Amino acid sequence: MHVKAGAQSKSEIGDTLYGGNDPADNSGILSYIRLEYTGYAFSEEREANGFTFYGVGNGTVVDHLQSYKGSDDGFEWFGGTVNVKYLVATDNSDDSFDWTEGWCGMGQFLVAVQRPSATIGYECDCLIEADNNSKDFAAKPVSSPILANLTLNGSGSTLNKRGIRLRAGTKVRLYNTLVIGKPNCLTTETVETETSLTDGTSVLDHIYLAGNMSTAAGIYTVDMFTANSNNGLLKNITLTSDYIGTVAGGKDMSLVNSFFVKTDYKGAVAQGNDWTAGWCK
């Protein structure tokens, strides 16, 4: 199902065709929208998420969206180049954020919150589950989003232990991020994904993990992660209201691309600048 330039594929629900050869395609504007109690798993291969982006182009405007207590992923990208800002995934029963099939967009100010099963009545899975393609790890275009200023807060569950799960050949450039509430805050899997972290095509910079991390392929290592003095394991990260609060020190992403807002901190929501107020639950 990997969508190559000019090709088309079918959506998980409804078999709707998507794909094409215009990275700048404009699908309109999604802004200040909250979806509640969405999603349904028809089968392991056909699952309805909160927000799903099928091959959406970067001419589309996406900002200020919340997926609240959905029955699958909060947000999922199937290929495309769409850029996103100010997203909140709250208590979605599968992954908070998920990408596959070559998503190459940018994102800033993303929040994931997963509260304990004793509070919400069910377990949530990964805070981020990231793939290139499960059947062909090297399929092109390769998933390679650029993301900055994330706050990812898990429930502390010992059943679903993973926070960020990078696998199946995905690449990513991830900056200014806080991960808490998962025993294993970061896992890397597959030769292709870990190789990208050693050759510089993937980047983990200014990342603070409240827990540990693991690497499965034996190419990228914990020592490599901590060799970057901007990163840290087992950090004491204090937040209020599940996601408000930042840690000083961050990359100025406005120097990377004009899409990004300049910040000097790790995390998504700074004290005194709660962009979720008034529209999020």
β-strands 47-48, 84-90 pairing: unpaired
CA dist list (Å): 233 to 38, 97, 178, 207: 34, 22, 11, 9
Q: What is the pLDDT of residue 45?
A: 65
Query: How far is Cα 201 from Cα 266, in angstroms, rounded to an integer?
Result: 21
pTM given for the model: 0.94
Query: How far is Cα 202 from Cα 40, in angstroms, rounded to an integer?
Result: 33
Q: How sure is the predictor about 11, in pLDDT bands with cuts at 50, 70 and 90?
A: low
Answer whether the bond into residue 183 is a cis peptide, omega within 30°.
Answer: no
pLDDT at residue 40 greater than cutoff 80: no
**Average pLDDT value for residue range 55-64:** 96
**Average pLDDT value for residue range 250-272:** 98
Q: What is the pLDDT of residue 156?
A: 84
Model confidence pLDDT, tens digit, residues 98-120:
999 999 999 999 999 999 999 99
Higher-pLDDT residue of 121, 18:
121
Q: What is the pLDDT of residue 20?
A: 80
Residue type present at position 168: A
Q: What is the pLDDT of residue 47?
A: 72
Q: Locate the domains of the chain by residue range.
A: 23-266
Q: What is the pLDDT of residue 1?
A: 29
User: For residue 144, how many C-alpha atoms fall within 13 Å in the half-sphere facing its CB?
Assistant: 15
Cβ-based neighbours of 23, under 8 Å, separated by 6 or more? 57, 58, 81
**Average pLDDT value for residue range 139-143:** 94
* Residue whose C-alpha is closest to residue 106's, from 275, 230, 261: 261
Q: What is the pLDDT of residue 10?
A: 63
Query: How far is Cα 175 from Cα 267, in angstroms, rounded to an integer?
Result: 9
User: For residue 28, how many C-alpha atoms fall within 13 Å in the half-sphere facing its CB?
Assistant: 3
Q: How sure is the predictor about 13, in pLDDT bands with cuts at 50, 70 and 90?
A: low
Q: What is the pLDDT of residue 91?
A: 97
Q: What is the pLDDT of residue 48?
A: 84
Q: What is the pLDDT of residue 43?
A: 67
255 burial (CB, 10 Å; 0-12 / 13-18 / 19+) is exposed
Q: What is the pLDDT of residue 5?
A: 45
